[in-house]
Structure 1
Amino acid sequence: MKKYFVFLLGTISVLLSLHGCNSIYTNEHLKNEYERVLKFFDSTLVNHFPKKLPDKCSFSTNVALAKIDYEKESGFSSFYADLRKKYSNKRYSKIKNIFISSSKAVYDANSEKLLLIFSYNNDMEINGEKYTNLESLKRRKLAKLNLIATSFPIPLFEIDQFKSNTFSGLPEDFKIYVLEAKPGKYLEDKYLRDCVCLPEKWKHGFSKGVAMSDKRHVIIYWVTVW
């Protein structure tokens, strides 16, 4: 198990990544951790994830943030989890057909109409002194595009394993399937932050789905709640 702690001007982002899910060390510990993370979310938000942690997969989450005093943290961030798994051709096709039949929308990885959920903290005040334009130019552009986006919300995928310069962050051979997305509060208020990077309708909410690549036979299961 690897833990990455990133500190940026007082904003804490904790990413827990589980790689090589069939390694000797990870077998029981990571399977238990995976189940614990899924239980953090309402069961209806993660019922598309595998019930048990599969072999030979990668899993990431920032649910570890819930263990610290998140109420004192600044900046906007969602709580998320994603699992990446490569399947055999036959197994991939079977799972793909199930998700296609139950999806509410499908998007290209590089669509400019995507409403993206990502951590954002462009302005901050520390000891009475104000700091602005803290985010990158690209992130500020995405925040503005969000206000006119027409899609259901999806995560901005920031996965090293599949990094790309597309709008979604995934390579163009991936298709993104939204299984469900609704506005509203699905976490305790202490975990929620307002964000200028989101339209009023989607001030808070959740989105869940999968991203699938026919080329790679890879499925990325994801959920994000903000």
Structure 2
Amino acid sequence: MNKIILLSVLLFFSGCINFIRPVKIISTKQQKSFEKNYQIHGLFDFIPEFAKKNTFGTTAFPPPDSINCHYVNQNSYAIIIGNKSDYLEDLKKVFDNGIVYTTDYLNDSNFIVDIIELKRTLFPVAKCNTYHKGKYPIPYFENYNFGLGIKETLKKQIVGEPPPRRHTVYNIPKDLKVYVIEARAGNFWKFDCKENRPETLGKWKHGYSKGVAVSDKYDKVVFWVIVW
């Protein structure tokens, strides 16, 4: 099995969702661990400290303490979902510092990266992992729980595995607007696991992207980072 890392916070092979109490989502130790293995530093700096430490209902996938091509995929993501009204000053700072790209999430021509499916085709999504010229990569937000219910639960039986694999697709705000703060194509890992990537990614077979997404109707904000 090869490797992975990136937006909310808790590792792919031990992912968890906490809806009961606030938890420390991104720790200094986790950031330092990630930066030991990646050439671009400061990717998490725009995320408010309050969101890192006191967030409810967050899907989190933090970088591991060490990376090894044999047991972890070379991708990462952090996705923090909170109430927009709690982060108005933080959002103002983000916008004042500059946005490189803005889009409505439900736009059919978005370049959406489903980071979970980069190395497999268990539950492929037609609109994902295909580069569109002039577009910046953004996360597949249906992977994350906005508290708006489940759209569907997918199941697939794998030969040799008694229980079927399951994947939950969540409802997302219809008015979700996405703002990319920074994104670059290229392999910036300090090691190379020579992982295969879909040809449909074009120049974005490796890269990173970070930003925020906002829903005024549902008072939601997402602080996200994806690295692959």
Which band: TM-score by shorter chain? 0.5 to 0.7
8 Å contact from structure 2 (residues 78, 224) kept in 1:
yes
1:106 aligns with 2:99: no
Letter in 1 for 2:58: F
Q: Tell me, in whole angstroms, the C-alpha distance in 2 between the residues paired with 1:68 and 1:43.
A: 16
Deviations 1:4-60 (A, max 9, x none): 99xxxxxx74324344443xxx5xxx36x6333333245421111113434353333
Normalising by the residue count of structure 2, what TM-score does the alignment of the two structures yield?
0.67
1:35 aligns with 2:28: yes
Q: CA 1:56 to 1:78, structure 2 compared with 1: closer, same or farther past 3 Å?
A: closer
Q: Tell me, in whole angstroms, the C-alpha distance in 2 between the residues paired with 1:55 and 1:81.
A: 15
Q: Which residue of 2 aligns with 1:220?
A: 222
8 Å contact from structure 1 (residues 146, 198) kept in 2:
yes
For structure 2, list consecutive stretches of 5 or more residues without a partner in the other structure: 1-8, 152-169
Letter in 1 for 2:27: Y
Q: Tell me, in whole angstroms, the C-alpha distance in 1 between the residues paired with 2:194 and 2:186.
A: 11
Q: CA 1:15 to 1:196, structure 2 compared with 1: closer, same or farther past 3 Å?
A: same
Letter in 2 for 1:98: K
Normalising by the residue count of structure 1, what TM-score does the alignment of the two structures yield?
0.67
Q: Tell me, in whole angstroms, the C-alpha distance in 2 between the residues paired with 1:225 and 1:169.
A: 24
Q: CA 1:38 to 1:58, structure 2 compared with 1: closer, same or farther past 3 Å?
A: farther
Q: Which residue of 2 aligns with 1:94?
A: 89
Letter in 2 for 1:63: P
Q: Tell me, in whole angstroms, the C-alpha distance in 2 between the residues paired with 1:197 and 1:154.
A: 18
Letter in 2 for 1:49: I
Q: Tell me, in whole angstroms, the C-alpha distance in 1 between the residues paired with 2:218 and 2:180.
A: 20
Q: Answer 1 or 2: which has greater helix percent.
A: 1
Q: CA 1:178 to 1:121, structure 2 compared with 1: closer, same or farther past 3 Å?
A: closer
Runs of 4+ in structure 1 off by over 6 angstroms are: none
Letter in 2 for 1:82: I
Quote how far apart the aligned CAs of 1:86 are. 1.0
For structure 1, list consecutive stretches of 5 or more residues without a partner in the other structure: 6-11, 124-133
Which of these two proteins has the greater Rg computed from alpha carbons? 1
Alignment of 1:32-111 (within 5 A): 34-39=27-32, 40-41=34-35, 42-52=40-50, 53-63=52-62, 66-67=64-65, 70-73=68-71, 78-88=75-85, 92-101=87-96, 102-111=98-107
Percent identity of the aligned residues? Answer: 20
Q: Tell me, in whole angstroms, the C-alpha distance in 1 between the residues paired with 2:77 and 2:15.
A: 10
RMSD: 3.5
